[in-house]
Structure 1
Amino acid sequence: MWLQHPVILENEVVKLLPLESSHFDGLLQAARDPRIWKYLSFNGLDSDAFRNELRSAVLRKTMGEEYPFTVFDNTTGKIIGSTRFYNMYPAHRKLEIGWTWYAPEYWGSGHNVACKSLLLTHAFEALSCVRVQFQVHEQNVRSRAAVERLGAKFEGILRNERIRDNGSIRNTAVYSIINTEWEQVKRLLHDRIKSPKS
């Protein structure tokens, strides 16, 4: 298995623990704001469907297909969201970071930068990735700006890339960071963690 379980990632701002069933109630509590789900393919406001997705994510983690994390605020210990490694291709040393969401009170707070810094460091330095990809709803201006602020490069739009749970067809913006860009991105992230509002 490419990722050696458990992967526990932590800095002063956030702690990422492998998703487990004991986190489900906290995640459901954090996910109650409809703004979280406006552009995501999945509607986490349906608590039964959300629990089923979380159970499936734990199973896919066990199978080595993806690696979901629960994100904790490292000051309060409170669950604030989730993210994961998926679309993992060890033979090609590439993966995707996605399924990322946070309770809105943590938007723009620096928690996302701190979280992505941990994930990207693990991807490039522990897993020796040559490519890390991000996919975002074309119309999700806030999330696209957040990915761009990480130093990821825009690669283009995949038209009619998926059909969301609500039946709408989504165009997807694709971004990436490659290994030769990592040191520069790492410095950028370090500076942004020190000054999270920048």
Structure 2
Amino acid sequence: MPATSPLPVILTGRHVRVEPLAPAHLDDLFAAGGNDDDVWRWLGTPTPRTPQELAYKLDALLADPSCVPFAVVHLETGQAVGWTTYMDIDVANERLEIGSTWYGRAHWRTAVNTETKLLLLTHAFEELGMGRVQLKTDHLNERSQRAIARLGARHEGVLRRHRRRPDGSWRDTVYFSLLADEWPEAKGRLTARL
């Protein structure tokens, strides 16, 4: 089947619901991860210290036509605990990236990231017809690299001096990817982990 461009959609699992990001999520999101340097350290943008600063980031994401942003809602509490996006979308070449992802610290190393990625990857490969999904992170963000590797994504390499960090230093970016023919095995592992 030919690939199709992602649109805002609601994807529901046992632990999380991934839904179109909206200004109504702001209070939950600030409570989950606002003013937390550890949450924002590797995202390439300063930590939002106030709800207004987070609202500016949220509005910028919503205004960006090159991505499809989602709120990640924890089903047990009904509260948004982070956000993620489909980005770098190239339908002609059947690829996209899952990125700009963050979760409040209380949800690190829980089912939240695993199930969010399972829902997004399933949608990308099985419904949108993508042949490649990439993920990337700062080379110093070892926690994120381990989480991406646990998804079954393969390490592809490092782009050196790729992007300037908010503090002015240079970031090397580590790239990972999953291909459509690798997806069934990775999906089985992710499903078993949940």
Would you say same fold, with TM above 0.5?
yes
The root-mean-square deviation of aligned C-alpha atoms, in Å, is 1.3
Provide the secondary structure at the position in 2 that maps to 1:101.
strand
- What residue number does 1:57 align with? 61
Provide the secondary structure at the position in 2 that maps to 1:91.
coil
The percentage of aligned residue pairs carrying the same residue is 37
- What residue number does 1:155 align with? 156
- What residue number does 2:121 align with? 120
- What residue number does 2:84 align with? 83
Distance 1:107 1:138, change over 3 A: same
Matches within 5 A, 1:62-141: 63=65, 65-141=66-142
User: Could you tell me how far 1:166 is from its partner in structure 2?
Assistant: 2.3
1: CA distance, partners of 2:154 / 2:110? 23
1: CA distance, partners of 2:140 / 2:30? 25
Q: Are the aligned partners of 1:14 and 1:71 in contact in 2 as well (CA < 8 Å)?
A: yes
2: CA distance, partners of 1:28 / 1:168? 27
Q: Which runs of 5+ in 1 are unaligned?
A: 194-198
2: CA distance, partners of 1:31 / 1:144? 20
Q: C-alpha offsets along residues 62-87 of structure 1, whole Å, 9 cap, x if unaligned? A: x3x21111111011101111111001
Amino acid at match of 2:24: S
User: Could you tell me how far 1:168 is from its partner in structure 2?
Assistant: 1.7
Q: Are the aligned partners of 2:23 and 2:55 in contact in 1 as well (CA < 8 Å)?
A: no
2: CA distance, partners of 1:166 / 1:24? 26
- What residue number does 1:196 align with? none
User: Could you tell me how far 1:165 is from its partner in structure 2?
Assistant: 2.2
Q: Which moved more, 1:151-160 or 1:51-60?
A: 51-60
Matches within 5 A, 1:6-85: 6-32=8-34, 33-47=36-50, 48-60=52-64, 63=65, 65-85=66-86
Find out whether 1:173 has 2:177 as its counterpart.
Answer: no
Q: Are the aligned partners of 1:43 and 1:50 in contact in 2 as well (CA < 8 Å)?
A: no
Q: Are the aligned partners of 2:67 and 2:89 in contact in 1 as well (CA < 8 Å)?
A: yes
Q: Which runs of 5+ in 2 are unaligned?
A: none
Q: Are the aligned partners of 1:31 and 1:44 in contact in 2 as well (CA < 8 Å)?
A: no
User: Could you tell me how far 1:49 is from its partner in structure 2?
Assistant: 3.9
Amino acid at match of 2:62: V
Amino acid at match of 2:39: I
Amino acid at match of 1:92: N
